[in-house]
Structure 1
Amino acid sequence: MTTHTLAERPAEAAIPPAFTEEEVAGVIQRAHDPISVVRDTATGRIGLLAGDTDVRLPAGLERLWNLPAAAPQRLGDQGFLRAHGVQYPYIAGEMATGIATAEMVIAMARGGMLGFFGAGGLPLHAVERGLDQMATQLSGPRLPWGVNLIHNLQDPGAEDAVVDLLLRHQVHRVCASAYLQLTPAVVRYACKGLHMGADGCIVQPNQLMAKLSRPEIASRFASPAPAGVLASLVERGQLTAREAELAAHIPLAADITVEADSGGHTDNRPLVAQFPTIAHAVREVQVRHGYASAIRIGAAGGLGTPQSLAAAFSLGAAYVVTGSVNQAALESGLSPAGRALLAQASIEDVAMAPAADMFELGVKVQVLKRGTMFSVRGHRLWEVYRKYPSIDAIPVPEREKLESELFRAPLDEIWRQTQAFFAERNPAEVERASRDPKHLMALVFRWYLGQASRWATQGVPDRVLDYQIWCGPAMGAFNAWTKGSFLAEPGRRTVVQIARNLLLGAAVITRAQQLRSLGVPVPAAAFDFRPRPLD
């Protein structure tokens, strides 16, 4: 309890307490003001008083509790903020093919948050150009940023080449995504440069964050790097014996992001079921190995409103990662035409479609359905692939329809283009296709699936119906939340304004729930934070 001399005695509160539902909701929404919970001693009514919690209350009021201002900085794990040098526990995720642009990452860093460059699916020269841009513009104040490393089942050599590039450019933060198993490339990145610090603790210069959706994959990233992979890397001269020795005592990833129902590759699982399950699996590994520091667990997927962020933090998330909503931001690599389509989406306007990178395995991605026929046309290709052993076996009417509606060229011409592409990028694919006509058909069909993403990023006008835009239901929820506000306008959706509004709203909603848990009658309006321009 604070004591005062007569000269220091606090002034009496000038603002009257709030007792009606409308007044209480208004006080809670005043995010930057601390709150006193007060009771009218005559009537027993409980209300709120905004402002300095140290002021003297008017006669007839009793102070029950004090709550600080709603602070987004305190929503997550403070260790996450220190580890990455950020102000807020928020990440703009690494949307592939450069949709998470260098400009987006730079804006996030300058806004006190973390962004990951979407290197997946980009040629090396484009990745290197992005690295140079981010390093140049963020070098002065040493602001944090990161890059995506995606599991490449079709071409492991490409994954190795990206790691070579990341190490050469001294990129110290990487988000590994879509991994089904640990590869030498991701282990090499995480373990390169390991050394013992002056305080006797192991120092890991390259911080690896793993984004995943399955407990067994989480357990692998939470464990030390596999001994066999480490030994192989040492034998090839890609790690030193000392680096491999130290790697046996720390988790491969210090941050693990649980990805729920999201755009792109997804298992369509709800966060409230998935997060506790994976968090439990990670804790089991942590206890078994007795790590000196706890693994931080974040949440992603379905996060498009303040309520969803508040729910993620209440589950125990150390940080949150957004994806779909950032595609609609001005800094996104998606074309203005694609962003306009996203701005019209509702939560029902998503569908599953075949994935270009794992087409033959039957893997699907979640995409935007409204305003595009990509999902329908992608499924049509999958059905043709399943039904026929080769392109030549496709009935002439079916083949002509595909050529006129989807490919707009003879399939033989599409194969010539595809063959030239893989002859340069991965000749093994061409050699396999020469022996396996069904694989040749898969490569031709993958041409359409891959081009559909490029048409969306480039904004090709006559290909709007073929746009492939990865999108989860969070986009529709975001549109519903922002309706009637300044963020409803696509031209005002900057990645930082999106982030700050989501975070501040989550902090306000968290405070409303805290007050309700204290017995304050909190009206529903207090949980309805509306977007507002924020500095």
Structure 2
Amino acid sequence: MKMIEALHDYKRAITVETKDQDFTVHDGFANVDNGTFVPAINPQHLGAQSFQTTHDVKFPYIAGAMANGIGSADMVIAMAKEGMLGFFGAGGLSLPNIKKNIAKIQEALSNGESYGFNLLHSPFETQLEQDTVDLYIAHGITRVSASAYLKITPHIVYYRAKGMIRQGDDIIPQNHVFAKISRSELAKAFMSPPPEKILQDLVAAGKLTREEADLAAQLPLAEDITAEADSGGHTDQRPLVTLLPTICEIRNEYMRKFDYKRPIRVGAAGGISTPQSMISAFSMGADYVVTGSVNQCCVEADTSQMAKEMLCKAESHDVKMAPAADMFEMGVKLQVLKQGTMFAMRAEKLYSVYKTYNSIEEIPDKERMILEKTIFRQPLSEVWEDTKTFFTKRDPVQIDKAAKNPHHKMALVFRSYLGRSSIWAKTGEQDRKIDYQIWCGQAMGSFNEWVKGTSLDAIDNRQVAIVAKNLLRGAVILNRINILRSQGVEVPVDAYAIPADVDICL
């Protein structure tokens, strides 16, 4: 049908003439009876223009960080070269590994392209968080995605404030924080200037100059706030339709409260995997969008082919919450794929044992044998020796703490399974497929349903930038359909069928 073809040609302004349930399409604005004008729409204009200008990108689209380097250097590079922002998934990686990937990205992006790295809140490994910030500052990483934060830490404040300067009447931050949040109180904390006491302590410690602290006190800790709804990995499973408007209202309130001159932007994450979900986010006021789960099965994702194949078969209901390795003791959970793996059930079992007993020695012999046989596949004493070796290199303080606290020792042992299960999935450990921990949200199933029968149904065609372009293209087409519909035109159902295509150019 010509009208549908014209609507899908989003670069073409048209007037749709309606007469007796028939449609006639005219190019541009046509002065005809019963004519409805539909403008051309540029995908670059879906979000806030300040997002593009501040971060020097073409599109209001981010490929979010996926821990353990699954959000890989290749993914970041591919996004940057197409004018989009990507964050490297540094969570769970050693500092030398992060440093190696910084070098790879900076070598590939030598023309000033924008990119970022993940900064994971580590309440039980504060030194790791501090060392990561120091590494980023030393190597000129000017954008971080602050994830899983429960409170404001000196490390994130130091990162934000370091290098701030004044140019005339403007304050120019060197470093940009993208705060991923799902709770109002954290949104307010990141939209506020850094706590005065933390700034003063950093000055006293010689980490910030007085000028840097004074300038930081006049800007929000983060100017990009990502409202993370139901997503893979760490999530509060909040629905985007209630979370995003709430965070936008808080943003409006805090812009007035602190009389900021620079805008605070609110982005949408969680569940963004189809043109419908993307245009819904922009229509609710999102300044940018962040994708996650859909990128994990892309060519550039640094995870195993086996994990990607499992993700490509997932339906929306094939997910489950399970205890998180990094905040195991606190009972924090994350969302994972449940189809084809028993990780979620086994992780829940370990947390139940942790809450029931105060030490490994207290675990009844029968229950301990089950754990050793089915989950760890080795004696817990051997698991502890492996765990000690790991923390000797990563954080020796944990070993000292475990020597004094048997319950903490148990937590470290149990966390070793949770930590290794994600590595098994990443490396494709065949013998451990049943234990794969694959972070995944319901968005994965929605994406698979959308691309079914198209060229993006095949794993080898799922390149991160191609996925992004298809989503952006679909969103602007739906925007045009909504413009027509909002003026009283009954749009044919077939117009909403927007197939994904590997050969796409925006």
Same fold, judged at TM 0.5 (above):
yes
Q: Does 1:434 align with 2:403?
A: yes
- Cα distance, 1:165 vs. partner? 0.7
Q: Does 1:305 align with 2:274?
A: yes
Q: Paired residue for 1:53?
A: 28
Q: Paired residue for 2:488?
A: 519
Do 2:354 and 2:411's aligned partners in 1 also have CA atoms closer than 8 Å? yes
Q: Paired residue for 1:192?
A: 162
CA distance in 1, matches of 2:453, 2:287: 32
Do 2:421 and 2:437's aligned partners in 1 also have CA atoms closer than 8 Å? yes
Do 2:162 and 2:208's aligned partners in 1 also have CA atoms closer than 8 Å? yes
- Count, aligned residues: 504
Please give the residue correspondences for 1:31-46 in structure 2 after superposition, counting only pairs within 5 Å. 31-40=10-19
CA distance in 2, matches of 1:112, 1:36: 31
Q: Paired residue for 1:102?
A: 73
- 1:186-209 CA-to-partner distances (Å, cap 9, x unmatched) read 1111111111114x2111111111
CA distance in 2, matches of 1:77, 1:64: 30
- Cα distance, 1:470 vs. partner? 0.5
CA distance in 2, matches of 1:48, 1:304: 33
- Cα distance, 1:36 vs. partner? 1.1
CA distance in 1, matches of 2:269, 2:340: 26
User: Which SS does the other structure have where 1:311 is aligned?
Assistant: helix
Q: Paired residue for 1:68?
A: 39
- Cα distance, 1:48 vs. partner? 4.7
Please give the residue correspondences for 1:101-500 in structure 2 after superposition, counting only pairs within 5 Å. 101-139=72-110, 141-198=111-168, 200-500=169-469
Q: What stretches of structure 2 of length at least 5 have no aligned partner? A: none
Do 1:24 and 1:523's aligned partners in 2 also have CA atoms closer than 8 Å? no
- Cα distance, 1:47 vs. partner? 3.0
- Cα distance, 1:522 vs. partner? 1.0
Do 2:228 and 2:240's aligned partners in 1 also have CA atoms closer than 8 Å? yes
CA distance in 1, matches of 2:314, 2:283: 27
Supply the RMSD in Å over aligned alpha carbons. 1.4
Please give the residue correspondences for 1:8-19 in structure 2 after superposition, counting only pairs within 5 Å. none
CA distance in 1, matches of 2:79, 2:394: 33
- Cα distance, 1:347 vs. partner? 0.3
- 1:55-105 CA-to-partner distances (Å, cap 9, x unmatched) read x78xxx537343222421111111111111111110000111101000000
What one-letter code is carried by the residue in structure 2 that aligns with 1:163?
V
- 1:353-407 CA-to-partner distances (Å, cap 9, x unmatched) read 1100111111111000111110111111111212222212222222112111111
CA distance in 1, matches of 2:303, 2:85: 20
- Cα distance, 1:46 vs. partner? 6.8
Do 1:302 and 1:474's aligned partners in 2 also have CA atoms closer than 8 Å? yes
CA distance in 2, matches of 1:357, 1:80: 31
- Cα distance, 1:511 vs. partner? 1.0
- Cα distance, 1:324 vs. partner? 0.5
Give percent identity, aligned residues only.
47
- Cα distance, 1:24 vs. partner? 3.2
CA distance in 2, matches of 1:435, 1:118: 33
Do 2:2 and 2:25's aligned partners in 1 also have CA atoms closer than 8 Å? no
Q: What stretches of structure 1 of length at least 5 have no aligned partner? A: 1-21
Q: TM-score, normalised by structure 1?
A: 0.92
Do 1:35 and 1:48's aligned partners in 2 also have CA atoms closer than 8 Å? no
Which of 1 and 2 has greater Rg?
A: 1
Runs of at least 4 residues off by over 4 Å: none
Q: TM-score, normalised by structure 2?
A: 0.97
User: Which SS does the other structure have where 1:112 is aligned?
Assistant: coil
What one-letter code is carried by the residue in structure 2 that aligns with 1:116?
F
CA distance in 2, matches of 1:137, 1:456: 27
CA distance in 2, matches of 1:427, 1:76: 46
Q: Paired residue for 1:26?
A: 5
Q: Does 1:82 align with 2:53?
A: yes
